[in-house]
């Protein structure tokens, strides 16, 4: 009975995160039942490759939303960054790293531009980024002269299409992939133990020890199973390495840094943050600089994946990224959200899209389903807030 009580307490303490995890598991189970090939090694690898740029955008977008803003321009910035890289690498014949640096520079410049108008001029982010969506899309058409540029080839192409395979050998599987995932599980277990010890030191409520061990074992088993599926296919995708590094870096930034705490403070209670000495303008400026940088990185990954730069690239990416954040637990009013939650939300979007594509569902129906899921996620958030306020 004690174990059941603890499970209920664990679920109720963070019902939104529990709900999205259950939803993700349910979706995977549903699509596996409808199409057994959904969990095949090849399809799992394709999910990582096809939706990595949305995951990257969701990392930056969740920080924007936590700060109480929104960014509608990221899809256009993805297109512009890829276009500049293509002009340099494909048309100009420059080395791949020149295109990468240029795309990141474009993202930073866009972030500085939009951060200036939002932070120092005081124009709402919705208006600034809506203007940016039009502005940067028009610039993309001009840079590409209304035509696509391809192929990148070489190292640039391998950024989002290459794999680390065979470096440490293995018979029928890639040993390096399993080692990397094993280290990831060990790191997760270590951080969970540290977090539990810290909570106990400050006399905070924690789950029962058997539940704690069970959580680590289940997460470790799922991660290692996923790693094995990649290992028996093509190995460790390069883009997954990039994504993992970004998740680790930004989890630390949002949860452990002064900047991260200030973003939560601004989004949660702006007047209180101002009174406590938070440099609101500087923090808001850096929020958009960071979003621009990540949009540039997503532009690199997307153009590499497509092996081309297209004027219409990145269309609707901003809506997928925003939806991922809200589904992943970010609050519409700001001040609430986590990078890990945004990743789970993005995975839900990826699983839904991939599963429906395997079933041959028309694109129009896919859009309807995505819209309904987003609406229900926000409605769930509003319901939880009203219920909490009524207590």
Answer yes or no: is pLDDT of 121 > 50.
yes
DSSP secondary structure string for all residues of 127-164: HHHHHHHHHHHHHHHHHHTTS-B----HHHHHHHH-EE
Answer yes or no: is pLDDT of 12 > 70.
no
Is residue 236 within a helix (H) or strand (E), and if so which, with residue range? Answer: strand 236-237
Question: How many distinct helices (H) and strands (E) make up the chain?
Answer: 16, 2
How confident is residue 124, by pLDDT bands cut at 50, 70 and 90?
A: very high
Query: Phi, psi (5° rounding) for residue 203?
Result: 60, 35
Asked if residue 284 lies in contact with residue 123, where contact means CB atoms within 8 angstroms, the answer is no
* 247-260 pLDDT per residue, tens: 999 999 999 999 99
CA distance 241 to 255: 21
pLDDT score recorded for residue 370: 85
Give me the helix-helix angle, 339-358 and 238-256, nearest 10°: 150
DSSP secondary structure string for all residues of 281-322: HHHHHHHHHHHHHHHHHHHHHHHHHHTSB-TTTTTTHHHHHH
- Which has more pLDDT, 107 or 6? 107
3-state secondary structure of 330: coil
* 154-170 pLDDT per residue, tens: 899 999 999 988 777 66
3-state secondary structure of 329: coil
How confident is residue 1, by pLDDT bands cut at 50, 70 and 90?
A: very low
**Encoded tokens for 375:** 């609406």
3-state secondary structure of 25: helix
Q: Tell me what the mean pLDDT of segment 128-157 comes to.
A: 94
Answer yes or no: is pLDDT of 25 > 90.
no
Distances in Å between the alpha carbon of 298 and those of 6, 15, 254, 295?
Answer: 41, 31, 20, 5
pLDDT score recorded for residue 376: 82
Task: Using CB atoms within 10 Å of the CB of residue 130, give its burial: 0 to 12 exposed, 13 to 18 middle, 19+ buried.
Answer: middle
CA distance 151 to 129: 30
What percent of the chain is predicted at pLDDT more than 70? 93
Question: What is the chain's Cα-based Rg?
Answer: 21
Q: Is the peptide bond before 151 cis (omega within 30 degrees of 0)?
A: yes
* 213-247 pLDDT per residue, tens: 998 999 899 999 999 999 988 889 999 999 999 99
Handedness of CA 27, 24, 329, 226 (dihedral sign): negative
CA distance 56 to 344: 12
Q: Tell me what the mean pLDDT of segment 91-103 comes to.
A: 95
Give me the helix-helix angle, 154-161 and 41-66, nearest 10°: 90
* 187-219 pLDDT per residue, tens: 999 999 998 898 888 888 777 888 889 989 998
Query: Phi, psi (5° rounding) for residue 371?
Result: -60, -40
3-state secondary structure of 391: coil
pLDDT score recorded for residue 53: 92
* 30-74 pLDDT per residue, tens: 999 988 889 998 898 899 888 999 999 999 999 999 999 999 999
pLDDT score recorded for residue 84: 97
pLDDT score recorded for residue 391: 58
3-state secondary structure of 191: helix
Tell me, rounded to whole angstroms, the distance of Cα 40 from its chain centroid: 23
CA distance 292 to 318: 12
Answer yes or no: is pLDDT of 299 > 70.
yes
**Encoded tokens for 323:** 């939806």
CA distance 173 to 138: 46
Question: What pTM was estimated for this model as a whole?
Answer: 0.91
End-to-end CA separation in angstroms for the chain: 26
Break the chain down into helix, strand, coil percent, rounded to 5. 80, 0, 20
CA distance 344 to 55: 9
CA distance 368 to 352: 12
- Cα–Cα–Cα angle for 110, 113, 117, nearest 5°? 140
What percent of the chain is predicted at pLDDT more than 90? 63
**Mean pLDDT of all residues in the chain?**
89
């Amino acid at each position: 009975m004690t174990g059941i009580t603890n499970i209920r307490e664990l679920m109720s303490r963070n019902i939104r995160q529990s709900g999205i995890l259950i939803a993700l598991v349910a979706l995977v189970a549903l699509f596996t039942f409808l199409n057994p090939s959904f969990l095949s090694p090849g399809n799992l690898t394709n999910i990582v490759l096809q939706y990595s740029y949305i995951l990257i955008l969701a990392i930056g977008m969740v920080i924007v939303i936590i700060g109480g803003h929104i960014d509608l321009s990221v899809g256009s910035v993805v297109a512009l960054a890829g276009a500049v890289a293509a002009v340099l690498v494909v048309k100009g014949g420059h080395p791949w790293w020149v295109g990468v640096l240029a795309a990141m520079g474009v993202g930073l410049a866009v972030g500085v531009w939009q951060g200036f108008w939002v932070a120092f001029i005081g124009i709402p982010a919705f208006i600034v980024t809506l203007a940016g969506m039009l502005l940067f899309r028009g610039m993309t058409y001009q840079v590409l002269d209304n035509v696509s540029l391809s192929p990148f080839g070489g190292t640039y192409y391998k950024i989002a299409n290459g794999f680390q395979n065979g470096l440490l050998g293995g018979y029928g599987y890639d040993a390096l992939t399993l080692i990397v995932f094993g280290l990831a599980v060990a790191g997760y277990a270590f951080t969970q133990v540290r977090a539990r010890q810290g909570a106990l030191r400050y006399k905070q409520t924690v789950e029962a020890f058997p539940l704690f061990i069970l959580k680590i074992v289940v997460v470790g088993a799922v991660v290692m199973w996923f790693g094995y599926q990649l290992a028996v296919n093509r190995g460790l995708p390069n883009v997954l390495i990039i994504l993992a590094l970004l998740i680790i870096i930004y989890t630390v930034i949002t949860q452990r840094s002064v900047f991260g705490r200030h973003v939560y403070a601004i989004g949660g209670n702006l007047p209180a943050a101002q009174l406590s000495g938070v440099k609101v303008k500087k923090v808001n400026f850096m929020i958009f600089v960071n979003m621009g940088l990540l949009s540039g990185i997503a532009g690199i990954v997307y153009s590499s994946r497509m092996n081309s730069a297209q004027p219409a690239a990145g269309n609707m990416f901003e809506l997928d990224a925003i939806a991922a954040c809200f589904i992943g637990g970010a609050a519409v009013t700001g001040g609430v959200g986590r990078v890990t939650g945004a990743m789970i939300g993005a995975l839900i979007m990826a699983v839904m899209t991939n599963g429906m594509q395997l079933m041959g569902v028309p694109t129009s129906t896919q859009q309807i389903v995505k819209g309904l899921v987003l609406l229900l996620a926000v409605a769930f958030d509003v319901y939880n807030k009203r219920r909490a306020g009524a207590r």
